[in-house]
Structure 1
Amino acid sequence: MASVPLAIFLVFLGCGANVFFLEHLIKIDSTSGHLITCGQFLLISCKQLLQFDWSNGIKIPFHRHFLIVALFVSISVINNWAFSFAIPLTLHIVFRAGSLVTNCLLSRLLLNKRFSTHKYLSVFIITAGIIICTLQTASTKPPSTSSSDDSPQLSFGLFVLSIALILSSLIGIVQEKTRDEYGKHPLECLFLHHFLSLPMFSFLIEPIKSSAAVFSASTAMEIFGFSIPSAWLFFVGNLATQYICIRSIFVLTSECTSLTVTLVITLRKFFSLVISVIYFKSAWTYWNWIGTVLVFGGTLMYAEVFSSSKKKKRPAKSHKKPL
């Protein structure tokens, strides 16, 4: 458990820095998400290939791995595609934090799960926060970028993100059923889900090559006497911090309860949003902050973070009989 505080620190450091590098790259080329994701998958695959213990064999059938990989790649591609439709990174973070909404709906429809009134209230709060952020973002487009095409472009981008949310919830259900049937094998999943995804990027080779050309033409920076395009330096920083982020989250999922992991990841997303707003001076108004608090507050409420803390503080009842 000594590694847990360090893992939490590295989640905030790695994931926060990752957003910093990502926003720089998106500003250089808004379609570079496919190149970034391909690089991340390749790095994680190579790193885990050297550490994977083949002597134990594969515990989960390949057909189940392929199903998860197909959903995994689709989600990554769709989320990257959304950046091409005037979706600010700030709204992207908030919108994706609403995955609990689609998860609750799909679990009810596909698994026939029933949730408490407390859960449904949390989902309603999250939905309200997303709606507020979306409407406010749509109404505060900078004058330099406002045009007659912005509104439908933003609407289609949100539609694309909605599809990604549904698929994210669907993959969560598949992973839950896989764990129930075959047990927990996180290292196997981490390696195979990234490694088996690599061939999928052959279908995206043209946009990947196009983004690579844009990166190479970016403003050069002097590093140890060498002139290197700034985009490639941000790219390397993005890959390194992404690995730190994912590896640290893996440590948390292995050592901590799901409640702790949910709390850390939720606060990490909020931290990433603050970095984007402050450092990049993103257009984020008073109403945007209200919506943001509703989204992340609703997430913590769904995870019963507040009620759990109250239960811990509640004094034990006395068993003495009244005189």
Structure 2
Amino acid sequence: MVHTDLTYITLSQWLLIVYQVFGGCCTNVFVLENLFKNNHSEYGLGSIITFSQFLFVSLISYFANTDFKSSNWRYLYLKQTNIPVKKWGILVIMYFTVSILNNQVARFNITIPVHIIFRSCGTVVTMIIGYLFAGKSYNRNQIISGIIITLGILISNIPLAFPETPSHKIIINYEFLMGISILLFATILSAFMGLFNESLFKAYGTYWQESLFYTHFLALPLFLFISPLLLQEFKVIWNDDHYISQDIPISNQFISLLVNVGTQYLCIRGVNILASKTSALTVTVALIVRKFISLLLSVLLFDNKVSTSGYIGSIFVLGGAFYYSVSTNKKNKQQTIKRE
């Protein structure tokens, strides 16, 4: 059974989730921005970062899915899956596409703060997709929170998409609109992915370690289609002329890449635990809070500029997410009292 609120998670589980989702994900965003800031090549590095993350997660989660006694080398000593492998195929394609797109938008002058704020619309997109394609229904408070979040997204991004020149002329920022369009497509696909993942857990049980391994391992062959680009981006990172020290000829960019993949594993692991115990919508809201912590770190540590409308929009989005969490907790407590 999949619960729909964080109140059903035990204290030890919640602490583990906080450590991995907030600690791992926030550190990951910090290192990711550091990689982009120190990249002075024509390549965006998004592809090699995504591939490294998928490879590392596959290796580190492999042993949790092995059975060396009952399986054999033909099956890579993998144990029998609880969820049919063909079911993972659909999820793998969606996850691969979402990951590639999210790491490519930096090439369209989409800063980390803008990326974080816009991706927060995942709550609204999940609600719409859930209503249209999964027969889900939402109460008044959830709908109101979705409206608040949508207003926040619009307030933050419209001035960036249609900036005003010093002569008070409104222009169209086509590069920004292209990046936002890619983000929107990735967010919609991510919503479908979350609902599909939720349906798998409901049908077969909550095997998040199996999900973590197969969604990354089965995606590795897909990187063959972009292998030339991966090689070029790896050369950029490896040949960076900023080293840890004079005695250790390893570039800072390469070390940052290693830290990035490690923290990405912690982040994904925490999200998978959360997804196995809550609904897709609750996962989205929890991640919004994490994203705003990353937003603050990006502004404070990398001196990223956020406009007044950006701050106002951020408050709307965070307020909408908080309103959803409070109203959902209140509803669950009322239902518990009625059952008693």
1:12 aligns with 2:12: no
* Cα distance, 1:141–1:76 mapped onto 2, change above 3 Å: farther
Write the distance in 2 (CA, Å) between the matches of 1:34 and 1:277: 25
Residue type matched to 1:78 in 2?
A: L
1:65 alignment partner in structure 2:
88
Write the distance in 2 (CA, Å) between the matches of 1:72 and 1:65: 10
Match among 26, 31, 34 for residue 24 of structure 1: 34
The CA deviation at 1:253 is 5.2
1:39 aligns with 2:49: no
SS in 2 for 1:247: helix
Residue type matched to 2:96 in 1?
A: V
Post-superposition CA distance 1:221-259 (Å, at most 9, x none): 2348212222111111111211222234445556x6669
The CA deviation at 1:308 is 2.3
* Cα distance, 1:168–1:249 mapped onto 2, change above 3 Å: closer
1:134 alignment partner in structure 2:
157
1:295 alignment partner in structure 2:
317
The CA deviation at 1:83 is 1.8
Match among 283, 287, 292 for residue 305 of structure 2: 283
1:226 alignment partner in structure 2:
248
Write the distance in 2 (CA, Å) between the matches of 1:117 and 1:252: 25
Write the distance in 2 (CA, Å) between the matches of 1:170 and 1:26: 29
SS in 2 for 1:226: coil
Deviates more, 1:13-22 or 1:3-12: 3-12
Write the distance in 2 (CA, Å) between the matches of 1:239 and 1:252: 20
1:117 alignment partner in structure 2:
140
* Cα distance, 1:183–1:5 mapped onto 2, change above 3 Å: closer
1:320 alignment partner in structure 2:
none
* Cα distance, 1:76–1:150 mapped onto 2, change above 3 Å: farther
Write the distance in 2 (CA, Å) between the matches of 1:53 and 1:142: 60
* Cα distance, 1:263–1:136 mapped onto 2, change above 3 Å: same
Q: Does the 8 A contact of 1:140 with 1:283 survive in 2?
A: no
RMSD: 3.0
Write the distance in 2 (CA, Å) between the matches of 1:142 and 1:244: 43
1:86 aligns with 2:99: no
Task: Report percent identity of matched pairs.
Answer: 32
Q: Structure 2: where are the runs of 5+ without partners?
A: 1-10, 71-78
Write the distance in 2 (CA, Å) between the matches of 1:136 and 1:231: 33
Q: Structure 1: where are the runs of 5+ without partners?
A: 144-148, 317-323
Write the distance in 2 (CA, Å) between the matches of 1:7 and 1:224: 39
1:51 alignment partner in structure 2:
64
Write the distance in 1 (CA, Å) between the matches of 2:133 and 2:331: 33
Write the distance in 1 (CA, Å) between the matches of 2:246 and 2:269: 30
2:119 alignment partner in structure 1:
96
Q: Does the 8 A contact of 1:31 with 1:207 survive in 2?
A: no
Write the distance in 1 (CA, Å) between the matches of 2:309 and 2:257: 33
Deviates more, 1:270-279 or 1:224-233: 224-233
Q: Does the 8 A contact of 2:31 with 2:260 survive in 1?
A: yes
2:267 alignment partner in structure 1:
245
Deviates more, 1:242-251 or 1:209-218: 242-251
Write the distance in 2 (CA, Å) between the matches of 1:196 and 1:187: 14
2:4 alignment partner in structure 1:
none
Write the distance in 1 (CA, Å) between the matches of 2:165 and 2:237: 26
Match among 118, 123, 129 for residue 106 of structure 1: 129
Post-superposition CA distance 1:171-196 (Å, at most 9, x none): 12211222222222111111111100
What are the equivalent positions in structure 2 for 1:207-222 lying under 5 Å apart? 207-222=229-244
The CA deviation at 1:141 is 9.9
* Cα distance, 1:175–1:47 mapped onto 2, change above 3 Å: same
* Cα distance, 1:13–1:305 mapped onto 2, change above 3 Å: same
1:169 alignment partner in structure 2:
191
Q: TM-score, normalized by length of structure 2?
A: 0.81
